[in-house]
Each structure stands twice: as C-alpha cells, then as structure tokens.
C-alpha cells in the first residue's frame, strides 16, 4: 500500500522504516528544511546544537530498526555510553552523580543519609517489579478498553494512582535523594508530583541499559535513520508542509494529503507524526472531528513548555559533566509554579547539556557547545514571551554565571534561544507544550489519544501525543506499534 507519513520526528522515522521494511511504499513529508522534528539541528558560527532530545536510553529500540533490515547500527552511527548519566547539583553545593555503578550509588546515598540505604534496597525491588509488569504494556496498542482490562490486574497492585514523587518519598527521608530519584518525569514534560508512578520505568531503563549519546549529536542519529529509510526505497520530501488531510466524504476514509502548495499526494493510509491536537484541529476537516474536538483538547492537561538557550563559549568548563541537572532550592514550589500556577518561578530547575564533554567536534577547537533548558509554563499561562524572552534569558545566564559557570557572559561567542512560541508556531504544538499531553494516570495508556483514529479508520498517530508517551524510547515504540497494526503489504 501507499502510506503517507506527516512529520519526520523520531516516531515518524521509526514507523517509516518498519512500514517500508514490511513492503509498503512510504513517503515521508516534512515541513522543515531538515528531518528530525523536535530533533532538529542548529549550526551556527562553527558550533552544532541539538535542538531537542539529547538523552538516549533503551538503545536496543534503535538497534532493532537496523537489525530487522540485516544492517549493523555501527555502520551508520556511533553510540557511546555516558558515565555518569547526570550530575545532579543542589543549591547547598552537594552533588549526586547518577551512574550505572551500583556500588557508587550506594556510597553516595550513605554520604547523603546513611538511614536511606535500606530504603534504596526496597526501592530497587519496587522498580524491578514495576518494570517487569509495565514494559509489556508499553508495546501494546491499547486501542480498545478490553486491551486495558487485560493488563489491569498487573497494574493495579503497582500503586499507579500514586505520583512518582509520592512513590519515591516512601523510600527516602533525605529531600535531596527524593529529588534524585523522582525528577525523571521532567524528561517527558510532566510533573513528578502528578505523573503516575508507572513512569518510574524511565529510570529503570537507565539502570538496566544506561544513558547513551550519538557521536555527532542526536542529529547524527536522525541522519542515520534517514539514510536507512532511503536505502530501503523510502521517499523523503523536505520543505513540504501539509495543509489538509484529503478525505473521501462518502466513505469517511483519508485519501492522502493536500500540501500547502496545493499539490495532492494520494495514499491508502495516512500516519501523522504531527502534534495530535494540531492534526485534528488543523489538518482533519471539521466534519470528521467527532471524538477529538477543540473542547476535549482544552480539557486535557498539556505538558510544560521549555525555554532553551543554545550557546557556544570560547573556553571550556571541565568541571561540568555531559548532562547536568541543576535543582531548584524549593523543588515542590517550582513544580507548582510551572504546572499549577502557570507562571515563571523565582527559582530555576535547569537542565544543562554540554555535548562537547563527549564529542569535541561539535564546537571549534578550545570551545564548548551548550544548551540550557528551563521548564516553563505552556501558553495557557500569562507570560508574554514577545516582551519577556530577553529578560528571562539574562536571568538564566546570570544564574549560571553566579553558581556554576564563572565569567560565562564574557565567554559566550554565539547563541540562539527558543521559547513556547517556537513550539506553537514552528512545531505546531498545542498551547506551545514541548511534550504533548502530561503523563498523568488518566492521560496514559488507553486514556491517551489512540494510535488509530476513531473517526477516520485509515488515519494513524505516532509520537509523543499517543501511547506510550513522550521521550525517545516511547516515540520510537509508537512507530513500532503502528507498523504492527498496519501489517505487511
């Protein structure tokens, strides 16, 4: 069959490769001048910046895409394991090095609070139990309620109604350790105090398989997947925005897509890797929006957005790791500001990415490539980014300079920043959210928008807005699920 995929993010690429492997004729259309979606790449003044995802876990999911085609991933891209996974820095000056070395983890817990050792042993056992029961669910389509019921007995006993934070806090007394083992929902744009405890699988994936980096940046991984897709006979069209999903009004089936330039691309099946809300509200004709209406999307909880500064320095800061989490002095209040009060916090909880710690080729000699990512409210809040972006940028740089990167402002030689308006206007994300919908219990699994549209039976969805959710392993898995649902040619 002819299959048209809208959007070349990692979910779209995953589906495209598998569907092409299954014998279909796949065309992948991308509105931007480069593939990757959120995994876009900026190149500026000799520096290379990954725009979006930088943390690779569950590398076996990537490897699968090459193995099913008789290829070796190492012939396309080099993945290297990072140690530590992250440094987690606190306002009191303490640092926790999250690593795959269990003995070192135990040593650090003893140094933070020796009474939490026994709690960590019990926490490990609880994580293993959740992982074994939840992971099989992650690769299921969950398009109907019966599929959910089948897995319900396994899930109910795992305390899924507890948040990640409340689940973790059962095992640790030290507030810093509570944060070390509960911040992971931020990687998928969600609040640790409302995200279901089943998403502790994120850190169990790290414990089991490590944290990895693609040499050359995430863009090198995107290029590797694009190369594989094209070798298989797939077709990629860049600078090709879609204006509307074409419909047969008699049958209620999609017939392809109408491009922004008026050209019609016919297909038997359409797969959208675009934002789910954007797809329904802007690409699907109004007559076919019965299940997912504007009102329904307005009632959902959408993920946070982010403010990101990409910057290059003409000096190196060797004391910083590849991944740094800089924690706010008031962790809970910060989350309340971003997710509930919907205003900029007076604190910073910030992710700092320093890829030149691993790959010096991403910057000129003696220089460093960075990005600083701050969680901020999505556009349902009242922040005026057209007015306030520069002032907020200055506050972030001053904070980094004061606390972690001495004389930073003197050494920045190039920079670029994005805010929630970029996610809304460039990436077509509803409310400028950076990760689709929040991963609360009632917006996970079957409760999330389904892979197969209820209104248009040959329209499918992949990416962060559908099951299993946001994050690189999840969006790649969504492509695997949809390819299995569609089947072989």
d(CA 488, CA 47): 42
CA distance 102 to 116: 15
Of the residues 192, 210, 228, which one is the last residue of a structural domain? 210
In a domain, 460, yes or no: yes
Angle among Cα 44, 429, 455 to the nearest 5 degrees reads: 140
Q: Quick one: 257 and 347 in the same domain? A: no
25 DSSP β-pair partners: 2
Do residues 308 and 295 both lie within one domain?
no
Cα dihedral 277/281/283/284 (nearest 10): 100
Judge whether 318 lies within some domain: yes
Are the C-beta atoms of 30 and 236 separated by less than 8 Å? Answer: yes
Question: Is 44 a member of any domain?
Answer: no
Q: Residue 53 domain-assigned?
A: no
Higher pLDDT, 472 or 142: 472
DSSP-derived pairing of the beta strands 412-418 and 305-313: antiparallel
* Nearest by Cα to 373 from 274, 304, 302, 463: 304
What predicted TM-score, i.e. pTM, was given to this entire model?
A: 0.95
d(CA 161, CA 210): 27
In a domain, 226, yes or no: yes
Number of separate domains in the chain: 3
Query: Are 130 and 166 in a shared domain?
Result: yes
Q: Which long-range contacts (CB under 8 A, 24 or more apart) does 412-415 make?
A: 412/311, 412/312, 412/313, 413/45, 413/312, 413/313, 413/314, 413/367, 414/44, 414/45, 414/47, 414/311, 414/312, 415/309, 415/310, 415/311, 415/312
What does the alpha-carbon distance between residue 57 and residue 209 come to, in Å, rounded to a whole number? Answer: 7
100 and 200 part of one domain: yes
pLDDT score of 157 = 67
Q: Does 463 reside within a domain?
A: yes
206 and 93, same structural domain?
Answer: yes
Domain identity same for 236 and 258 = yes
**Do the beta carbons of residue 239 and residue 35 sit within 8 Å?**
no
Whether residue 332 is contained in a domain is answered as yes
pLDDT at 401: 97
Residues 294 and 311 in one domain: no
**pLDDT for the residue numbered 24:** 98
Each residue's pLDDT tens digit, 177-235? 999 999 999 999 999 999 998 899 999 999 999 999 999 999 999 999 999 999 999 99
Shared domain for 276 and 319, answered yes or no, is no
Residues 273 and 169 in one domain: no
Q: Beta strands 242-248 and 253-259: pairing type?
A: antiparallel
Quickly list H helices, 139-185: 145-156, 164-169, 175-180
Give the C-alpha separation, 452 to 441, whole Å: 21
> Which domain-ending residue is among 162, 190, 210?
210
Question: Considering 182, 210, 238, which residue would you say is the last residue of a domain?
Answer: 210
Residue 356 is part of a domain; what is its CATH number? 3.30.519
What is the radius of gyration, based on Cα positions, of the chain? 22
CA angle 465, 187, 397 (to 5 degrees): 120
pLDDT digits (tens, 9 = 90+) for 444-482: 777 788 999 999 999 999 999 998 988 999 999 999 999
Q: What pLDDT, on the 0 to 100 scale, is given for residue 156?
A: 65
Q: Domain check: are 405 and 324 in the same one?
A: yes
How many Cα atoms occupy the beta-carbon half-sphere of 285 within 13 Å?
Answer: 15
pLDDT attached to residue 429: 95
223 in a domain, yes or no?
yes
Joined together, the tokens standing for residue 265 give 């691309």
Is residue 456 within 8 A of residue 271, CB to CB? The reply is no
- Asked if 102 and 177 sit in the same domain, the reply is yes
- Residue 19's Cβ-side half-sphere holds a number of Cα atoms within 13 Å equal to 31
314 and 398: one domain?
Answer: yes
- Expressed as residue numbers, the domain containing 162 is 86-210
Lookup result for tokens 């070796």: 72
What is the predicted pLDDT for the residue at 154? 67
How many CA atoms lie less than 13 Å away from 401 in the CB half-sphere? 13
pLDDT at residue 298 tops 90? no
Look at strands 86-89 and 47-50 and give their pairing. unpaired
pLDDT in tens, 366-408: 999 999 999 999 999 999 999 999 999 999 999 999 999 999 9
- Using the Cα atoms of residue 270, residue 275, residue 278 and residue 280 in order, give the sign of their dihedral: positive
């Amino acid at each position: 069959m002819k299959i048209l995929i809208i959007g070349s993010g990692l979910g779209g690429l995953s589906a495209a490769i598998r569907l092409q492997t299954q014998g279909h004729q796949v065309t992948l259309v991308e509105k931007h001048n480069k593939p990757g979606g959120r995994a876009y790449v900026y190149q500026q003044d000799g520096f290379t910046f990954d725009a979006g995802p930088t943390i690779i876990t569950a590398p076996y999911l990537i490897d699968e895409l090459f193995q099913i085609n008789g290829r070796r991933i190492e012939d396309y891209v080099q993945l290297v394991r990072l140690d530590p996974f992250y440094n987690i820095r606190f306002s009191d000056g303490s640092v926790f090095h999250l690593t795959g070395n269990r003995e070192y983890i135990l040593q650090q817990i003893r140094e933070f609070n020796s009474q939490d050792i026994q709690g960590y042993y019990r926490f490990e056992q609880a994580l293993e139990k959740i992982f074994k029961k939840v992971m099989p669910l992650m690769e299921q389509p969950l398009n109907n309620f019966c599929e959910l019921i089948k897995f319900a007995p396994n899930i109910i006993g795992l305390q899924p109604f507890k948040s990640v934070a409340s689940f973790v806090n059962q095992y640790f007394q030290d507030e810093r350790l509570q944060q070390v083992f509960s911040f992971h929902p931020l990687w998928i744009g969600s609040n640790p105090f409302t995200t279901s405890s089943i998403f502790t699988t994120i850190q169990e994936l790290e414990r089991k398989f490590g944290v990895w980096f693609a040499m050359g940046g995430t863009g090198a991984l995107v290029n590797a997947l694009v190369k594989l897709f094209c070798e298989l006979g797939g077709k990629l069209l860049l600078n090709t925005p879609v204006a509307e999903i074409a419909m047969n009004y008699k049958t209620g089936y999609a017939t392809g897509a109408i491009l922004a330039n008026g050209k019609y691309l016919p297909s038997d099946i359409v797969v959208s890797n675009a934002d789910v809300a954007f797809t329904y509200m802007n690409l699907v004709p109004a007559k076919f929006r019965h299940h997912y209406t504007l009102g329904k999307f307005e009632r959902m909880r959408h993920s946070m957005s982010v403010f990101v500064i990409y910057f290059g320095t003409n000096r190196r800061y060797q004391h910083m790791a590849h991944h740094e989490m800089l924690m706010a002095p008031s962790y809970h209040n910060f989350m309340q500001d971003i997710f509930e009060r919907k205003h900029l916090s007076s604190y910073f909880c910030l992710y700092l990415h320093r890829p030149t710690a691993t790959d010096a080729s991403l910057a000129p000699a003696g220089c460093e490539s960075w990005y600083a990512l701050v969680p901020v409210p999505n556009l349902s809040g009242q922040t005026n980014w057209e007015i306030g972006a520069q002032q907020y940028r200055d506050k972030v740089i001053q904070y980094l300079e004061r606390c972690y990167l001495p004389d930073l402002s003197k050494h920045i030689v190039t920079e670029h920043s994005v805010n929630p308006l970029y996610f809304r206007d460039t990436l077509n994300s509803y409310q400028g959210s950076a990760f689709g919908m929040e991963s609360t219990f009632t917006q996970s699994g079957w409760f999330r928008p389904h892979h197969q549209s209820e209104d248009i039976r040959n329209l499918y969805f992949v990416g962060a807005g559908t099951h299993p959710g946001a994050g690189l392993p999840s969006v790649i898995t969504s492509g695997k699920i949809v390819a299995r649902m569609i089947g072989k040619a």
